[in-house]
Amino acid sequence: MKGIAYLGPRGTYSHEAATIWGQRAGQDSFLACPDLPGVLAAVLQGQAAAAILPVENSIEGAVNLTLDLVLENPELQVIGEVVLPVHHCLISRAGDLATIREVWSHPQALAQCRHYLAQNLPGVITRPATSTAAAADQARQQPYLAAIASNFAAEVYQLPVLAAGIEDYPDNKTRFWVLGRENLHLPGPYKTSLVVAAVANRPGSLYAILKDFAAAGINLTRIESRPTKQELGEYLFFIDCEGRATEPPLREVLEGLKAKTSLLSILGSYARDGGGTSGR
C-alpha cells in the first residue's frame, strides 16, 4: 500500500504530521524525502499516495516554496490539512543540564527557544542543524550534546526528555497541507483553498474580489499574496475560506468571480482540522 511522503528525516514535525494524517486516512506507511519538491514528486511518480507539506506557521508565516509547488502542479489537489502545535523539548543522553556542552537544532527552533537557553544554558554553544530531527540524531550519538526537537523525535531516537515545553511562544502551530489525486471525503466542516489574480492592477481590484465573499456571508480564514514572477507589483492571492466549492453559497461566489479575475484556480475543498491534535 502506497503511503504518505513527508520532509525527512524520521522524527521531523512533518513526520509527526504525516502520522496524524495516516491515522485519519487509514495509512501506516511513510516515505521520508530530502526536500519539499521531492515530497511532491513522490506522489507524481506514484511512489506515495499523498504528500504532506508545511504551508504556514503562526510565528514564521507562509512557506512560500509550498505555495509555489502547489501552483506549479495542478494535477494534485489539497485533500486535507493537519494543524500541529509546535512544542519544543530539550533532549539528550546527558544526565543533567550541567554536562551539556552544545545544543543543536534547526535555526528556527533555536530562535524560538532563545529565552530558555539564555536562562538555563548560558554560554553553551548552539549549532544549527538541517532539521530538528537531524539534531536529535546528533544528540543520540554524542552524550554531551543536546537537541531541541519534539517529544515525537525523542521517541523516534529513544532519547530522554530533559525539559519539555521550552518554546518562547506556547501557541506556536504549523499548518500542513495534504496533497493527492483523490479526496477522502472526511466528515466536515469543510474549507476551500483557491488562488486568484485580478484582471488588472488598478485601485479596488482586490476589493472587487473579496466583497463577494462578504456579501455571501463566507468567512475568509486566510489570505496570502505571492508575486506573479512576471511583473513587479503584480500578485497572486491565495485564499482559504469556509465551505465547499461545489455547494452554495461558495459555488455561486466562485462562478461570479470568473469575470473579475484573470486566474481562478480551486486548489481543493477538504475537511477542516479543528486546530491541533497534538507544528514544522
- The residues assigned a catalytic role are 174, 176
The residues pairing with 63 across neighbouring beta strands, listed in sequence order, are none
Closest CA to 72 of 195, 161, 245: 195
- 211: CB partners within 8 A, 6+ apart: none
Strands 125-128 and 102-105: parallel
Contact of 85 with 276, CB cutoff 8 Å:
yes
- 264: CB partners within 8 A, 6+ apart: 194, 195, 196, 254, 257, 258
- 243: CB partners within 8 A, 6+ apart: 190, 191, 192, 218, 249, 250, 269
The C-alpha cell that represents 45 in the structure block: 511518480
Closest CA to 31 of 22, 41, 23, 42: 42
